[in-house]
Amino acid sequence: MSSPNIAFGTDGWRAIIGEDFSSENVQLCAQAVADYLSNRNLHSKGIIVGYDTRLGSKTFSHDVARVLAANNIPVFLSTNFAPTPVISYNVTNMKTAGAIIITASHNAAEWNGFKVKSEYGGSAPVEVISEIENNIEALVSQKRSPKMITIEEAKKLRLLQYFDPKISYLNHVKNLIDFDLIKRYPMNIAVDSMYGAAIGYIKSLLSEYQDTIEEIHATENPSFPGLRKPEPIGPNLRQLRDTVLKGGHAIGLATDGDGDRIGVIDNTGRYLSSLQVFSLLTHYLLKKRASKGPIIKSITTSKMIEKLASHYNVEVVTSPVGFKYLGALFIEKDALIAGEESGGFAFKGHIPERDGILSALILIEALAATRQPLSSLLDELYDLVGPHYYDRLDLTFPERERPRIEQKLRTKRVSSFLDLPVTDFSDVDGYLYTLIDDSWVLVRFSGTEPLMRIYAESNSMENVNKLIGEARNIVGI
């Protein structure tokens, strides 16, 4: 058995379909998870297997199910594609040992991926992923092939059963949102499912309470036509923006390929950054719902969170990027909300994992509760914490250049940006420079793609662009 190119990043393993992402390698990963469950005596609890709308996802999910069942692990296989948070919730509802989800989230159409969820419904923590990776290496070095049986054999042995994960999830979410409040404030809503796994979920939950919900990109299409990739960021949401403006919608909401992230267009057609959305959600929970609890944020999120926490006297905990870190802290701290720059947010009373569907519903509840347009809620936020602007630049580069870039970042001591002194520096997860006026810039390599990202936040877009430009000059790309 040749050595596969399998490495788990911030949220699972992703690769190009037909190259590294093959049935052989998916089966290898499944066997490594099976070995982990058996070694930890978790196998009897069973595991959920889900998948998204991508090319081959259903077939790959069957590969996983066949391996797990061959290892005497009961499998609960989704009857249809389903969003990642829906599968994750069912882990806690059904009390299984975890889940495996075939999805590449927001990556382009040629990618697929393998996510592992823990028994508490969140991303598997670092130590679990490390053990799974070690199991993969052991399988390869020992030339041990994954165990396999057919789907029919698994069903006959009662080691595989199909289930619909949607029903219990919808019932649970109905207890987390004040739908009666939403019903008393009619509004037009636009939803962009980006051809992904969350197709129909928001409309299904709201149709009883709101008359006008306009969906776009709401059919299953693994090529994601018209989208570079199903990522709910500004450049990919032009059609949603046009739909909001043309239809007079109060809000436009987009979910990514596997439904765990959200993108937002406000009533004026303006794209709101994930940092603005995180801050709006946090402000609503703290002010209007009067909820309390620590806030968990990744290093790539806004300084607005610290200012809100100070105003409402709650704790903030900063984490490396990835819900395998944020989720563990979310549980440990019994947090109110957790969020990261990618547009993924978790909420108390739910699962320690991102949920784009629930995020969308809380924003709609906020509009109903305040009876204000979203643009006004952003103005109100800025009145409290001051204006904050943000952007991110993604740069590709030849992999051979990575050691040179990393060496440069490790050794170059930067004392200022924008002629403002650097007051704090961290290299815990990337290279983060905080300036005397609370502006910041971060240079970080993607954990799942061949990308380097430069993030910046400041009090004007002009300064944000300058920060990104200065950082790009430092790395020399």
Q: Which pLDDT value is given to residue 460?
A: 94
Domain contains 5: no
pLDDT at res. 37: 96
Comparing 37-41, 48-52, 198-202, 405-409, the range with the smallest average pLDDT is 405-409
**Residue 324 shares a structural domain with residue 369:** yes
Q: Give yes or no: residues 156 and 253 share one domain.
A: no
| pLDDT 10s digits, 340-380 | 998 999 999 999 999 999 999 999 999 999 999 999 999 99
Pair 252, 237: CB distance under 8 Å: yes
DSSP for 22-81, written as a single string: -HHHHHHHHHHHHHHHHHTT-GGG-EEEEE-SSTTHHHHHHHHHHHHHHTT--EEEESS-
Residue 237 has what pLDDT? 97
- Could you read off the pLDDT of 58-105 as tens digits, one per residue? 999 999 999 999 999 999 999 999 999 999 999 999 999 999 999 999
Q: Which of 10-24, 325-339, 403-417 has the highest mean pLDDT?
A: 325-339
Q: Are residues 106 and 254 in the same domain?
A: no
Q: Let me know whether 196 and 146 are in one domain.
A: no
CATH number at residue 470: 3.30.310.50
Please report whether residue 128 resides in a domain.
yes
Instruction: Flag whether pLDDT at 209 surpasses 70.
Output: yes
Q: How remote is the C-alpha of 446 from its chain's centroid? A: 14
| 10 pLDDT above the threshold of 70 | no
How big, in percent rounded to 5, are the helix, strand and coil portions of the chain?
40, 20, 40
pLDDT at 119: 94
Q: Please provide the average confidence, as pLDDT, over all residues in the chain.
A: 94
For residue 62, what is the domain's CATH number?
Answer: 3.40.120.10
State pLDDT tens for residues 444-458: 987 666 789 999 999
* 56: in domain: yes
Q: Above pLDDT 90, what percent of the chain?
A: 86
The answer to whether the CB of 210 falls within 8 A of the CB of 182 is: yes
pLDDT recorded at residue 447: 67
pLDDT computed for residue 301 by the predictor: 92
Domains: count for the chain: 3
Q: Do 181 and 218 belong to one domain?
A: yes
Is 1 part of any domain?
Answer: no
Helix (H) or strand (E) holding 296: strand 295-298
pLDDT at residue 3, as a whole number: 56
Residue 3 DSSP symbol: P
Q: Which of 337, 359, 385 is the last residue of a domain?
A: 385
CB 285 within 8 A of CB 336: yes
**In the structure encoding, which two tokens stand for residue 219, read together?**
């059919």
pTM for this one?
0.93
Q: Is residue 204 located within the same domain as residue 341?
A: yes
Same domain, 435 and 361: no
Q: Give alpha helix (H) positions in 123-190.
A: 126-141, 151-156, 166-173, 179-183
Average pLDDT over residues 426-434: 92
Name the burial class of residue 220, with classes exposed (0-12), middle (13-18) and buried (19+) by CB atoms within 10 angstroms of its CB. Answer: middle
pLDDT, tens digit, for every residue of 126-147?
899 999 999 999 999 999 999 9
Same domain, 91 and 216: no
- Examine the domain organization and report whether 96 and 157 are in the same domain: yes
Q: What is the mean pLDDT of residues 110-117?
A: 96
In a domain, 41, yes or no: yes
- Phi/psi for 276 (5° steps) reads -65, -40
In a domain, 70, yes or no: yes
State whether 314 and 262 are in the same domain.
yes
120/179 same-domain check:
no
In a domain, 4, yes or no: no
Looking at per-residue pLDDT, the higher value among 285 and 5 belongs to 285
Asked which of 169, 188, 204 is the last residue of a domain, the reply is 169
Distances in whole angstroms, Cα of residue 69 to Cα of each of 43, 45, 101, 138, 146: 10, 12, 16, 21, 11
Q: Please give the pLDDT value at position 181.
A: 94
**3-class state of residue 436 by DSSP:** coil
What pLDDT shows up at residue 1?
54
**Angstrom distance (rounded) from CA 326 to CA 299:** 11
Examine residue 6 and state whether it is found in any structural domain, yes or no.
no
List CB contacts of 469: < 8 A, sequence separation 6 or more.
Answer: none
- 211 pLDDT exceeds 80? no
The last residue of one of the domains, among 169, 188, 216, is 169
Q: Which of 263-272, 292-301, 374-383, 444-453 has the lowest mean pLDDT?
A: 444-453
- Residue 288's domain comprises 174-385
406 and 369 share one domain? no
Is the pLDDT at 325 greater than 80? The verdict is: yes
pLDDT confidence of residue 449? 67
With CA atoms as reference, report the closest residue to 131 among 22, 29, 46: 29
pLDDT at 31: 98
